[in-house]
């Protein structure tokens, strides 16, 4: 749909891909007065979850000598487990369910959003390019940090904002600075993922509009604009796959680091 | 930018579905499956470590048995050698005893034979003396017509024979 429309209008709106379109229950699905319509965004969350579940089923064979699929599942799980033990220590094991779900869910969402399903008329929707979605995950991570911090250390958790060896007169100032940097964490966490995913998808869309625009403008512009843009697009697609993994990793890693702060203070 | 322009219309749906679906992922995948995967990996690591330890123990056991076998073999070789030495010594002693006995018998028989030879010679000598004395007396009677007493002839022969 998008491509034919683009071809006829010879013009593209790179932000159109982020439009949320309600699929079910537009008006009457509501919860406590809030609209909870099932949108294309929710659909792709569900698809990510289902694909992730199917992927994990391959790891449930629990054989002594793993097959390829089981090996993949185990290497992903082992990767997150290593990250947690490296950053938090042996207490990190109990956060494995959360951090693993977080990493895999974001990773699958990012990768599924990159699939070239537009070729067969299905438009993947990358819900991680919406800060309403990433914000929920960021606030969840932040809430876990707060709950763990105050649960384990009580009001002593505030000493997180006063690094060791701070001179006495500097303490009020440092406290405020550290507090602000702490409170900014959920925003930076959620916005980083949203911005990275959105930027990549916009870039791909803009380049694809160059390809189509150049091709429509004749053979000369096709050679001058379309072909280099297409080559660049291929390279950026590869980069986007990398970014999809890195952003999922960064989200999980920062969550682990913040949890480490809550577990061990400084 | 739909993220902002649609914010008011979609935020509740986004947040709701995110919480529902991520919640499902957390409980099904995070709590249900990930720990089992870790468990599988750990049990495999433990199995490998146990197998390695068992192999190491078996190797040490085999080495100990080898050492014990070598020691037993060395001891048995020593015993065998001492047995051989004892047998050799016994055999030598027995041979000596038998040689001694045989030698003594030989000596006794030699001595007996010598005694017999001496007696025979004595007898022969006495006979020769008697014959010589008779002959001498006879000769003296025939040649000189002398009658020589037997005793005197025997004494004269003895003198001549023994110087």
Q: How far is CA A184 from CA A149, A188, A258, B25, in A?
A: 17, 6, 12, 27
Q: How far is CA A40 from CA A20, A30, A218, in A?
A: 6, 17, 36
The pLDDT value given to residue A26: 65
Asked whether residue A6 carries a pLDDT value surpassing 70, the answer given is: no
Asked whether residue A147 carries a pLDDT value surpassing 80, the answer given is: yes
Q: What's CA B158's distance to the chain center, in Å?
A: 72
Task: Give the predicted TM-score (pTM) of the model.
Answer: 0.75
Backbone angles phi, psi at A88, to 5 degrees: -110, -30
The pLDDT value given to residue A5: 45
Q: How far is CA A228 from CA A10, A210, A224, A225, A234, in A?
A: 18, 10, 7, 6, 10
pLDDT digits (tens, 9 = 90+) for A197-214: 999 999 998 998 888 888
User: Which has more pLDDT, A201 or B152?
Assistant: A201
The pLDDT value given to residue A12: 67
| Contacting A residues, span 170-229, partner chain B, CB-CB under 8 Å | 194, 198
ipTM of this complex: 0.86
Kindly identify which residue of chain A lies nearest to residue B28, measuring between CA atoms: A53
A173 min Cα distance to partner chain B (Å): 35
Of B10, B24, B33, nearest to A132 by CB-CB distance is B10
The pLDDT value given to residue B119: 92
The pLDDT value given to residue A102: 93
Q: Is A23 on the interface with B (CB under 8 A)?
A: no
Q: What is the domain partition of chain B in residue ranges? A: 7-162
Q: Please enumerate in sequence order all residues whose Cβ is within 8 A of that of A223, keeping only pairs 6 or more positions apart, or say none.
A: none
The pLDDT value given to residue A51: 94
A58 min Cα distance to partner chain B (Å): 10
The pLDDT value given to residue A4: 44
Are A127 and B20 spatial neighbours (Cβ–Cβ below 8 Å)? no
pLDDT digits (tens, 9 = 90+) for B6-58: 877 788 888 888 999 999 999 999 999 999 999 999 999 999 999 999 999 99
The pLDDT value given to residue B128: 82
B40 min Cα distance to partner chain A (Å): 6
Interchain proximity B25–A98, CB inside 8 Å: no
Backbone angles phi, psi at A115, to 5 degrees: -60, 135
Q: Is B87 on the interface with A (CB under 8 A)?
A: no
Least confident of A12-26, A156-170, B27-41, B124-138: A12-26
pLDDT digits (tens, 9 = 90+) for B69-108: 999 999 999 999 999 999 999 999 999 999 999 999 999 9
| Contacting A residues, span 101-130, partner chain B, CB-CB under 8 Å | 101, 104-105, 127, 129-130
The pLDDT value given to residue A10: 45
CB atoms within 10 A of CB B158: 13
The pLDDT value given to residue B7: 79
The pLDDT value given to residue B89: 96
Q: What is the DSSP string of chain A?
A: -HHHHHHHHT---TTGGG---EEE-TTT-EETTEE--EEHHHHHHHHHHHHHHHHHHGGGG--SS--HHHHHHHHHHHHHHHHHHHHT-GGGGGGHHHHHHHHHHHHHHHHHHHS-GGGGT-----GGG-HHHHHHHHHHHHHHHHHHHHHHHGGGGGGGGS-TT--GGGHHHHHHHHHHHHHHHHHHHHHHHHHHHHHHHHHHHHHHHHHHHHHHT-HHHIIIIIHHHHHHHHHHHHHHHHHHHHHHHHHHHHHHHHHHHHHH--
pLDDT digits (tens, 9 = 90+) for A92-141: 888 999 999 999 999 999 999 888 887 887 888 889 999 999 999 999 99
N- to C-terminal Cα separation, chain A = 54
The pLDDT value given to residue B106: 94
pLDDT digits (tens, 9 = 90+) for A230-243: 999 999 999 999 99
Are B3 and A199 spatial neighbours (Cβ–Cβ below 8 Å)? no
Q: How confident is the model at residue B163 (pLDDT cuts 50, 70, 90)?
A: low
Q: Which residues pair with A31 in a beta bridge?
A: A34
Q: Is B46 on the interface with A (CB under 8 A)?
A: no
Of A15, A56, A132, nearest to B1 by CB-CB distance is A15
Mean pLDDT for the stretch of residues A239-265: 92
Burial code (b: 16+ CB inside 10 Å, e: under 16) for A101-139 equals bbbbbbbbbbbbbbeeeeeeeeebbbbbbbbbbbbbbbe
N- to C-terminal Cα separation, chain B = 169
Q: In terms of Cα–Cα distance, which of A56, A42, A44, A57 is closest to A110?
A: A44
**Apex CA A69: angle with CA A67 and CA A72, to 5°?**
110
Q: What is the DSSP string of A133-152?
A: HHHHHHHHHHHHHHHHHHHH
Asked whether residue B160 carries a pLDDT value surpassing 90, the answer given is: no
Q: In terms of Cα–Cα distance, which of A96, A110, A138 is closest to A254?
A: A138
User: Which has more pLDDT, A32 or A51?
Assistant: A51
Separation between Cα atoms, residue A110 and residue A250, nearest integer Å: 13
The pLDDT value given to residue B19: 92
Q: How confident is the model at residue A25 (pLDDT cuts 50, 70, 90)?
A: low
Of B13, B34, B40, nearest to A96 by CB-CB distance is B34
Kindly identify which residue of chain B lies nearest to residue A51, measuring between CA atoms: B25
Q: Please enumerate in sequence order all residues whose Cβ is within 8 A of that of A10, keeping only pairs 6 or more positions apart, or say none.
A: A212, A213, A216
User: Which has more pLDDT, B102 or B134?
Assistant: B102
DSSP annotation of B71: H
């Amino acid at each position: 749909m998008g491509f034919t429309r683009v071809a006829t209008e010879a013009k593209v709106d790179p932000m159109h891909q982020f439009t949320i379109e309600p699929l079910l229950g537009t008006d009457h699905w509501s919860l406590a007065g809030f609209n909870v319509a099932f949108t294309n965004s929710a659909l792709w969350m569900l698809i990510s979850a289902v694909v992730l579940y199917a992927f994990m089923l391959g790891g449930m064979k629990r054989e002594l000598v793993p097959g390829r699929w089981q090996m993949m599942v185990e290497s992903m799980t082992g990767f997150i487990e290593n990250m947690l033990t490296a950053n938090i220590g042996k207490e990190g094991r109990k956060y494995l369910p959360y951090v693993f779900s977080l990493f895999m869910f974001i990773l699958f969402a990012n990768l599924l959003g990159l699939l070239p399903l537009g070729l067969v008329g299905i438009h993947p929707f990358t819900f991680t390019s919406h800060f309403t979605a990433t914000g929920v995950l960021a606030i969840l991570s932040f809430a876990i940090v707060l709950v763990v911090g105050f649960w384990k250390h009580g009001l002593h958790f505030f000493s997180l904002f006063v690094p060791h060896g701070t001179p006495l007169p500097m303490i009020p100032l440092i406290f405020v600075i550290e507090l602000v940097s702490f409170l900014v964490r959920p925003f930076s966490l959620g916005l980083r993922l949203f911005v990275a995913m959105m930027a990549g998808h916009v870039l791909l869309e803009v380049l694809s509009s160059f390809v189509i625009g150049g091709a429509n403008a004749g053979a000369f512009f096709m050679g001058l604009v379309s072909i280099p843009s297409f080559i660049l697009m291929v390279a950026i697609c590869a980069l986007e796959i990398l970014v999809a993994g890195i952003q999922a990793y960064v989200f999980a890693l920062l969550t682990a680091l913040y949890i480490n702060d809550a577990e061990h203070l400084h | 930018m739909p993220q902002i322009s649609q914010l008011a219309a979609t935020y509740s749906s986004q947040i709701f579905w995110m919480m529902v679906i991520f919640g499902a992922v957390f409980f099904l995948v995070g709590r249900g499956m990930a720990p089992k995967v870790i468990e599988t990996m750990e049990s495999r690591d433990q199995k490998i470590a146990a197998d390695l330890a068992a192999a190491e123990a078996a190797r040490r056991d085999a080495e100990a048995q080898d050492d014990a076998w070598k020691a037993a073999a060395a001891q048995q070789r020593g015993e065998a050698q001492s047995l051989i030495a004892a047998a050799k010594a016994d055999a030598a002693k027995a041979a000596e005893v038998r040689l001694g006995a045989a030698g003594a018998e030989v000596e006794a028989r030699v001595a007996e034979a010598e005694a017999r030879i001496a007696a025979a010679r004595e007898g022969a000598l006495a006979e020769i003396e008697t014959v010589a004395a008779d002959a001498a007396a006879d000769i003296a009677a025939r040649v000189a017509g002398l009658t020589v007493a037997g005793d005197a002839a025997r004494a004269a022969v003895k003198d001549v024979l023994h110087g």
